[in-house]
Structure 1
Amino acid sequence: MTGTEPAATRIDTSRPHPARVYDWFLGGKDNYPVDEELGRHIMSIDNRAKHVARTNRWFMHRVTRWLAGRAGVRQYLDIGTGIPTEPNLHQLAQAVAPESRIVYTDNDPIVLTHAEALLRSHPDGVTDYIQADVRDPDRILDQARKILDFEQPIALSLVALLHFVGDEDGPLDLVGRLVDALPSGSHLVISQLTADFDPLGVQRGVEMYAAGGVTLAPRSLDAFGRFFEGLEVVEPGIVQLTQWHPELGVDEVHDGDEAVSLYGAVGRKP
């Protein structure tokens, strides 16, 4: 650890946190009763919620394999990391290119308590962790520059993060500030909740998260596409998650052909 986390942290167990609810969906143990309660409530409405969480995780796996392999990316800035669930991004990237450098970022103090798992880098590479919120891009960039070379391409990963950032917080501007700092040849990776496929089910999810004090902001195809303006969206474009390079999937078990309510895409900065 390089000292990039705040000196004092406090885990709030009085209200659910997206990272911990996601951990519960993935079968993890690093969550609290309030997180499990919300997760079970969501499952009572949509029994595919755990599968959706796994599908999102698999998307991250496929994207990282593509970035490290076909795109030749050797640096990663992963914001909204979540509680470590193996394989982590650095394990996937360094399996292809051991010299890869990865900076993880999350705003939940519980992730900090498990950051050791995120820092088990291949000896030829580097991993680091920043405790920060995507709403503070200047802090993230300032700390990331201590590890990453901003003269060389970087993959900015915002997987299952931006639907927890309401429009009132200016997510387009936040992403724009981060992308503007990246050099040519960098990539932007996003997965995002949408109501385009199942409006009623997603609205119920929004209401359940709101009852727990958590913002959930689904976005349409057009709204999602705005995050990639000025970038070259790589094939197969903006698609439902399972349609993004399925040939790169390893040990994935999908529940039929039904679409999950998540879009995913990768954009390259010219």
Structure 2
Amino acid sequence: MFVRVGFDISPKNLGTNSTSHTRPFSAIAELIDNGYDPDVNAKEILIDKTQIRDMECLTFMDNGNPDLMQRKLSEIWENQVSLRDILEHSPFNKEEELLTELHAIEGPTGTKIIIWNLCRTSEGNMELDFTTENDIRIICTNDSGTSVPEIHSSLRAYCSILYLRPSMQINIRGQKVEDRPIYKSLDDIDKSYSYKPKTLEEKIPIIFGYNTKSKEHYGLMMYHKNRLIKAYKRVTTQMTSIGVIGVIECNHLKLTSNKQDFDNDDAYKYEETKA
């Protein structure tokens, strides 16, 4: 994986990173977050697939500030041992091939990420499905017999609600993702509710609305500093409120290290019972 020429690529950290994300879309969200970083400040990110020799690869290319990456690259070309290791453990056999990928970055600044050795199912099929035009999908099943929310199976749908206040254009396989804050798709929106965390002086607003498209999908959409962390979380008041969606930004809660969940501490438990 060629990722901003990773700044700490010891085997221990590579192992940690490879097991920290149990869902493909959450791992992709973290790569998108890189573009949101103030040091990068990308305005656009392109997500696509490509073929390198006999391997299907996932690619990410943004137009953010690459100054730090360029310095790291310069250090690596000066160190032939590092360059040799990159060529040995990547899909590229020659330095020229690696440089060709970097030169493909559109515009004066940017970063390109290439991920290969994509996971396969026990039947040998790709875990990521590229057969749908302008989308990347995964097969999801639900033991309860109800349909699976589209954001769990479609990267395009997931990215459309990933941020409450989008500031970067996401493109998937050549087509722009339409930003669609979740509350704008609800009916009978009510903004009068609020929640008082035990650890804060002020109240946090909660937007409620009715999901007329798929009333079996309901619960809290929990964001943290603009980004979606948990979707359709059913807390006490929503256990039986079929079709009701709540949108809340929980900046006071602590995230787990992989940003897939909130720490199950007292603050989170209080929110589960009081929100």
- Band of TM-score, shorter chain: under 0.3
Larger RCO, structures 1/2 (Cα 8 Å, 6+ apart): 1
Q: Which structure has greater helix proportion?
A: 1
TM-score by length of 1: 0.26
| Rg (Cα) greater in structure | 2
TM-score by length of 2: 0.25
